[in-house]
Structure 1
Amino acid sequence: MANTYTQIHIQAVFAVQNRVSLVQPLWKEELYKYLSSIASKYGHKVLQINGMPDHVHLLMGFRPTQALSDLMQELKEDSSKWINIRGFVKGKFSWQAGYGAFSYSKDQVPRVIKYIQNQENHHKRKSFLEEYEELLKTHQIEYDKRYIFKSIE
């Protein structure tokens, strides 16, 4: 019987619409558990999740049984509905269109976990936009500044 063996580690980064700081300390852990449960439902293993009020970093062991774009759509749509049903924000909550996804080898995973755990400290020194552009450059991803997460209006 043929088997499929993979070791795929992906860090997904996505932002609140217009990068508004809406994710509040009172419910962020609940949100992270909910996001983790969505990923788990599809066989992915969340290794670390954390973020700031305007964005989330999610590191997972990714199963190749689903397209990453489908998982990201599911994560963002389901969690937006979940936040709105619970009335955690005034008005309507939504995630920004698009996301970043970065792959890592197994030996890099501990460093990425530590990085995600220390989001608060990182953002004392640099903005989310600076962090995101640094990730794109580190991973040698070509990008157009006009299309990096929509500015706050």
Structure 2
Amino acid sequence: MPGTFSQIYIQLVFAVKGRRSLISEQWEQELYKYITGIVTNKNQKLLAINGMPDHIHILIGMKPSCCLSDLVREIKKASNEFIKTKGYSRSKFDWQEGYGAFSYSHLALDNVIQYIHNQKEHHRRRTFQEEYKDFLIKYKIDHKEEYLFDWIEE
């Protein structure tokens, strides 16, 4: 779109269905590369991706013509099929419905990228449930507990 200038940065967070720990360190990098390809093929810019066995964080530089819900649906659908086709998970793998989407300014990008890259260290101190609820509170997102992810009691 000529004459259209934007800076839209969105961090996506979504979990494995039932928040089961199914993403293995043995193949997580292949999954991240595959998701990077999906985002790139949709003409968006992937800035950071990382996660834990039960969830994933993706930071995307988005164009205003992109529909976020369509992009997330495509990422989940295609990556789910990729995991199944490759036989990576011995258990039935699915992403949970829903996702978190949090926006950032250009000035915050370095901190967000570092936060995403340090997921494994970060989660030694806090659970995904604590992290996700803190995002909702920090960004003043109205929510009801019954609509959050299905949490597995730890």
| Contact map agreement 2:129 2:151 (CA 8 A) in 1 | no
RMSD: 1.3
Q: Is the aligned partner of 1:79 residue 2:106?
A: no
Q: CA deviation at 1:142?
A: 0.9
Structure 1 equivalent of residue 107 of structure 2: 107
| Contact map agreement 2:45 2:60 (CA 8 A) in 1 | yes
Unaligned runs of 5+ in 2: none
Structure 2 equivalent of residue 24 of structure 1: 24
Question: Aligned equivalents of 2:140 and 2:103: distance in 1?
Answer: 12
Structure 2 equivalent of residue 148 of structure 1: 148
Structure 1 equivalent of residue 128 of structure 2: 128
Letter in 1 for 2:16: V
What's the secondary structure of 2:4's corresponding residue? coil
Q: CA deviation at 1:88?
A: 0.6
Q: CA deviation at 1:3?
A: 1.9
What's the secondary structure of 1:101's corresponding residue? strand
The number of equivalent residue pairs is 153
Letter in 1 for 2:148: I
Structure 2 equivalent of residue 59 of structure 1: 59
What's the secondary structure of 2:46's corresponding residue? strand
Letter in 2 for 1:85: T
Letter in 1 for 2:56: V
Deviations 1:16-73 (A, max 9, x none): 0000000001100000010011001111111110000000000010112221000000
User: Which portions of structure 1, spanning 4 or more consecutive aligned residues, are displaced by more than 2 angstroms?
Assistant: none
Letter in 2 for 1:112: V
Deviations 1:95-134 (A, max 9, x none): 0000000000000000000101111111111100100011
What's the secondary structure of 2:124's corresponding residue? helix
Q: How does 1:33-52 map to 2 (within 5 A)?
A: 33-52=33-52
TM-score computed with the length of structure 1 as normaliser: 0.96
